[in-house]
Amino acid sequence: MSSNIFQDIKNDFPIFSNQINGKDFVYLDSAATTQKPNDVIDSVIHYYKTCNSNIHRGIYSISIEATELYENARSNIGKFINAKSPHEIVFTRNATESVNLVANTWASQNLKEGDSIILTEMEHHSNLVPWQILAKKLNLKLNFIEIQPDGELILDKLDNLFQENAKFLSLTHVSNVLGTINPIKDIISKAHEHGITTLVDAAQSVPHMPVDVQDLDSDFFVFSGHKMLGPSGIGVLHAKKTLLENMEPFLYGGDMISNVSLREAQWNDVPWKFEAGTPNIAGAIGLGKAVDYLNHIGMDAIHKHEQELYNYAIDRFSELKDFKIFGLENKHSTGGVISFSYSDFHPHDIATILDGESIAVRAGHHCAQPLMEKLGVPATTRASFYVYNDTSDIDKLFNGLQKVRSVLT
């Protein structure tokens, strides 16, 4: 593999010490959520055991410690994506909430009837449905960048979409179905030339490759902690500070205010004016520790490792009869995702048989039904790789798929 650091990495993840159905566990569904290393689990336990308290308002020792851990996590995450300031990092529940925050604040305040929003045909429902709702509410138009059969975006008509009164563009960095890595830096640059504000759904990129929001020049940038070894229920919205300062809050209540009277209130500074109520303190601390873990490995090394796994899997799967991979095979760069069909076997049947072999894959539409329609299938089976996977996992998947054929034919 790409580095010796990956050889024993499973030892850092307690879930892999368990056997399922009497066999070693093979987890190939990291595009849905990732397993958690001991470092992350221990950081959450440490918080609850030693300094469980509310943040920002307590003047006693453990509250001060909890506040420092929470805000240090914010700084850590900001550095991880090269944000200009930790004040550009807003904690949310997940990428879905981050998109909804932008839709219900900046977009609701700045878009008007007749404006258009540009999306792509490969979006996760989380980066589609909020814009559908907003379009109906404000009488906006939704336009879509189409995809080629190999899973790449068709960009030669992008200028035409810009001319249709486009004011906002929201797209995924990496497809959760196809693994396609979109050229978002070029797309953002072209959008800005036309005065268009941008949002990047980075839920499938931040965990898997180096990301620099200043270099990308994205306006809004969203991702989830649970997809990058962190706890569930914690996500991130990164936005340029000037945008955050001019946006109204999304939720109202404690901690997001600076002053309250009986008839009016003033808001806290950014980012806290977007973090109403008691936040997921343990989740933020755990995500900060997940970032430490990923930094120790190195994001370049992680991306290289996943590319090697992808190429190895492509070679192995070429030996299977009636096996189809959706999207471009032998990508020079991929998000470590393979969606496939196998003969006329239903994806749910494939996943069920593989589960009997203690292999976890995803079967379904992957929260991307319009993309499934574009591909001409109701569902696919998906295998996705991460730091704790190796070639032996792919070999077990290959053997499991051979068993699928023997059972279903």
CATH number at residue 221: 3.40.640.10
**Residues 329, 203 share a domain:** no
**Residues 198, 143 share a domain:** yes
295, 323, 351 — which closes off a domain?
295
Angle of CA points 91, 93, 95, to nearest 5°? 90
Reading the block at residue 259, the tokens are: 């002053």
**Residues 202, 75 share a domain:** yes
Active site residues: 367
**Residues 156, 113 share a domain:** yes
Cα dihedral sign, 70-72-77-82: positive
Give the pLDDT of residue 186: 98
295, 325, 340 — which closes off a domain?
295
262, 278, 295 — which closes off a domain?
295
Cis? peptide before 271, omega within 30° of 0:
yes
Give the pLDDT of residue 2: 44
Residues of the domain holding 356: 299-408
Give the pLDDT of residue 334: 78
Kindly state whether residue 9 falls inside one of the protein's structural domains: no
**Residues 361, 237 share a domain:** no
Residues of the chain with pLDDT under 70: 1-3, 329-333
Q: What is the pTM assigned to this prediction?
A: 0.96
Kindly state whether residue 73 falls inside one of the protein's structural domains: yes
Distance CA(294)–CA(367), nearest Å, equals 27
Give the pLDDT of residue 149: 87
Kindly state whether residue 27 falls inside one of the protein's structural domains: no
Kindly state whether residue 24 falls inside one of the protein's structural domains: no
> What's the structural domain count of the chain?
2
How buried is 371 (Cβ within 10 angstroms: 0-12 exposed, 13-18 middle, 19+ buried)? buried
Give the pLDDT of residue 254: 95
Tell me, what DSSP letter sits at residue 14?
G
Distance CA(287)–CA(69), nearest Å, equals 11
276: Cα within 13 Å, side-chain hemisphere: 9
